[in-house]
Structure 1
Amino acid sequence: MPVPQGYGAQGPSCMDRIKLGFMMGFSVGLATGVVFGGIQAFRFGARGRELIQTVGKSSLQGGGTFGTFMAIGSGIRC
């Protein structure tokens, strides 16, 4: 009986690796953005809504930037 094709142990596709690289980079960038953005906001005396906006903006920027670079690096390695 022949072995059916397509049921072997295949690794993730190149697009899956790029998405995983982006998500890992976004998570790391988000965490560092919260830490460094919070420190910077406290240093400048931000409180309340201004603090949340500053930390949110810096964390999303850090996550997007680092996620993009990790996705590019993962794409190069495919």
Structure 2
Amino acid sequence: MPVPSGAYGQHGGSPSCFDRIKVGFMMGFCVGMASGALFGGFSALRYGLRGRELFSTVGKTMFQGGGTFGTFMGIGTGIRC
């Protein structure tokens, strides 16, 4: 399926290396957030956290996991450029 000409910014054709790094980071960030929700949620429930403490802890774990995994996915995508 062909890519629309305006899908990657100002130029048509293939995306630039920076565009690929951004997409890699966002994919990694989403995967890291999902795994952070699972692992952080289970560990917070195991520690007996409820209510505001539970959401605060799970939110921090999600953003930490998303940032870490997104960074490594962005670096890996940049290496492949």
Structure 2: distance between partners of 1:20 and 1:73: 11
Alignment of 1:32-71 (within 5 A): 32-71=35-74
How many residue pairs end up in the alignment? 70
Task: Pick the structure with greater CA Rg.
Answer: 1
Distance in 1 between the 2:14 and 2:73 partners? 19
Q: Which residue of 1 aligns with 2:28?
A: 25
Task: Work out which structure has the larger RCO, using CA pairs closer than 8 Å and 6 or more positions apart in sequence.
Answer: 1
Runs of 4+ in 1 over 4 A off after TM superposition: none
Please, which runs of 5 or more residues in structure 2 have no aligned partner?
1-11
The CA RMSD measured in Å over matched residues stands at: 0.8
TM-score relative to the length of structure 1: 0.88
- Percent identical pairs in the alignment equals 69
TM-score for the superposition, normalised by structure 2: 0.85
